[in-house]
Each structure stands twice: as C-alpha cells, then as structure tokens.
A = this chain, B = another copy of it.
Amino acid sequence: MINIGICGYGNLGKGVEAAISQNEDMKLIAVFTRRSPDSIKLQTPNVGVYSMKDMAKFKDQIDVMILCGGSATDLPTQTPEIARMFNVVDSFDTHAKVYEHFLNVDKVALESKKIAIISTGWDPGMFSLNRLMMEAVLPNGNDYTFWGKGVSQGHSDAIRRIKGVVDARQYTIPVDEALQKVRNCENPILTTRQKHIRDCYVVVSNPDDEPRIEKEIKEMPNYFNDYDTYVHFVSLEELKKNHSGMPHGGFVIRTGKTGFNLENNHVIEYSLKLDSNPEFTGNVLVAYARACYRLNKRKECGCRTVFDIAPRDLINQSYEDLLKHTL
C-alpha cells in the first residue's frame, strides 16, 4: 500500500482524491490546507484535514505527498520546501520556468534523499511524453500541439477581472482547418490566430456595458488580441446550467518523412477528450506518485520528470502480466 498525502484541496486536490479511490494500491492518509481545516469536508471517509503547518508530523506516515497548488505562486516555493521531508509529485506547468524549477527541486531532493517528480499531468505531462516519443521515432518531421475544446481557467479569470463582469467561462477551441492541414502532412506554419479560437460566455451586471466589455475582451493583450475571439452574453442561470463543467483536451500530432529520398509520409497523433480536466490530471499525478514511491524504494533520489520514468513503474501490475496481456 502506498500512503498518499494531498497538499491543497482545490479542484486538483479533489481530482487527486477521486483518483486515489480508483487505485487499489493507494491509500489517502491526510489532506493539508492553508484554509481552516474545519471548513473542508472530504469525500473519503475517516481521513483528516490538517493545517499545512502540521505536515512535518506526518513524515513517517506518508510515502508520497501530491502537491495540488498553483504554478504561479504556490509550487515554486512549496515543491522544494516539501521535498525536504517527503517524496513529492507536482504539476508545475509554467513551461518557460520548468528548468529553473527542476534545478531548485533537484538540489533539495538530492540532499533529503527523496524523489520529486515535477510537471506531471497532461501538458506538461502526457503531451510532453508524446512529443518526445514522436520525435524519437520520427526525427525528420514537425510536431504540433493543439488544445481544446476546453475551459481555460486563466482566460476565464482574465474576463472576470473586467469591470461589470459577474462571471465568465472561456473555451479554447482548435481550428479544424489547421488540424486538417497538419494531418495532411502539409507542415503548415501556423500563426496563433490560425491554431485556436477563443469562445467566451459572459454574464454582465448591466446590459448597457456589453459593447464596452466585448471590446475590452477582444483587445486584451496576450489573452485575446492575437485570436479570433467570440463573445456571447448569457444569463447567470445559463452559465451555471450549460458551462459549469471543466472539460478539456487536445492533440499532439507529428508528421514526418522516411526513406532515402524522403518519399514516405507518416502521421502520429495523440489526443485527449476529457470531461473533467482536474480529475484526469489527478489520475496522472497518482500514477506518477506510484513511480515516485518505487524509485525511492530503490534508493534513488533527486528531481525527475515524465522523461525519466520507465512506463512499468506507473502501473499496478506484475511485469509478467504486462508482457502477457499488454505488450
């Protein structure tokens, strides 16, 4: 049995909790929060919620701590701090800062003799793994990543910060025409606008503000102005009824050529279609928590990513069974 702790109980923490319940070799020991522990009710019976300050007391009871904080401010400090005491898994997803995060965490984990697996989830995570594998087996080619259809939390939040907006939900949607060009081995050079559209459902307090709010959304730098953006004004009831889920997904596609005259084309495609982004991400974190536990049992230590983990370490099955039934 692998004893798991969860640090942070937002959407992702809840997704990890649900994931643990699907894995027979895992047991949830405790959840840690910055909020008042009394304010949190878990789905799992007989598991306690504790203040993050009390984490050290669980040093000998928890095999792997799964970190469910955010990448902007939580994980850059939490992952190295907590790796002083525990094996950890995180889903740090600021692509541009992954290497810096890796170096910070590696230093601590080598000292504490723990294993830290960073940047798991689906992107980074499963998508990264596929980008690497596809390039390894098709070196002469190009890969493309498309996201969606799915809810972008960051873009939804950006709309909510506009004056007069009550609530909002933003969907990122890949452009079908671009997907088809990629699949047809056309190796297109695609602008930001050609790859994704942004579809926004917005609740406002005063309908007179709609023209201004629509303009502010569409012209927002970085978030929307480089995209074809569609704005739909809806009632709060409609938003809650039709847009309360957290679906996501996407595509990694690589096309490439083989043969001495590069005469043969190949297409490799990996796609995800997820009803619940945090629950699927939670499942991935739990699979990497299993690998984290096993690596540390073998006396390994330091920081790892999905690129370091042998597939067999992710699954609760004997090697013999895997060779007989999965290979």
Identify the A interface with B (CB < 8 A).
15, 18-19, 21-23, 43, 95, 98-99, 102, 119, 124, 126, 128-133, 135-140, 258-260, 263-276, 279-280, 282-284, 287, 290, 305-312, 314-316, 319-320, 322-324, 326-327
Tell which of B15, B126, B260, B312 touches A307, judged by Cβ atoms closer than 8 Å: B312
In the assembled complex, the CB of A116 is this many whole angstroms from the nearest CB of chain B, namely 14
Give complex CA distance A310, B307 in Å.
6
* CB–CB B305/A95 < 8 A: no
In the complex formed, the residue of B with least CB distance to A130 is: B270
Give complex CA distance A137, B265 in Å.
30
Give complex CA distance A187, B185 in Å.
32
In the complex formed, the residue of B with least CB distance to A275 is: B264
29 pairs of residues in contact across A and B, judged by CB atoms under 8 Å: A18-B258, A18-B259, A21-B260, A22-B258, A98-B324, A102-B323, A126-B137, A132-B311, A133-B311, A133-B314, A135-B315, A137-B287, A258-B276, A258-B280, A258-B282, A264-B276, A266-B274, A266-B275, A266-B276, A267-B271, A268-B270, A268-B271, A269-B271, A269-B272, A269-B273, A305-B327, A306-B327, A307-B310, A310-B310
In the complex formed, the residue of B with least CB distance to A268 is: B272
* CB–CB B307/A279 < 8 A: no
In the assembled complex, the CB of A91 is this many whole angstroms from the nearest CB of chain B, namely 12
In the assembled complex, the CB of A45 is this many whole angstroms from the nearest CB of chain B, namely 11
- Enumerate chain B residues within 8 angstroms of A279, measured Cβ to Cβ: 258-259, 264
* CB–CB B265/A275 < 8 A: yes
- Enumerate chain B residues within 8 angstroms of A276, measured Cβ to Cβ: 258-259, 264, 266
In the assembled complex, the CB of A5 is this many whole angstroms from the nearest CB of chain B, namely 19
* CB–CB A133/B129 < 8 A: yes
* CB–CB B326/A132 < 8 A: yes
Tell which of B273, B290, B308, B326 touches A312, judged by Cβ atoms closer than 8 Å: B308
In the complex, given contacts A132-B312, A132-B315, A307-B311, what are 4 additional A-B residue pairs having Cβ atoms less than 8 angstroms apart?
Answer: A136-B314, A266-B272, A269-B271, A307-B322
* CB–CB A324/B264 < 8 A: no
In the assembled complex, the CB of A156 is this many whole angstroms from the nearest CB of chain B, namely 19
In the assembled complex, the CB of A67 is this many whole angstroms from the nearest CB of chain B, namely 17
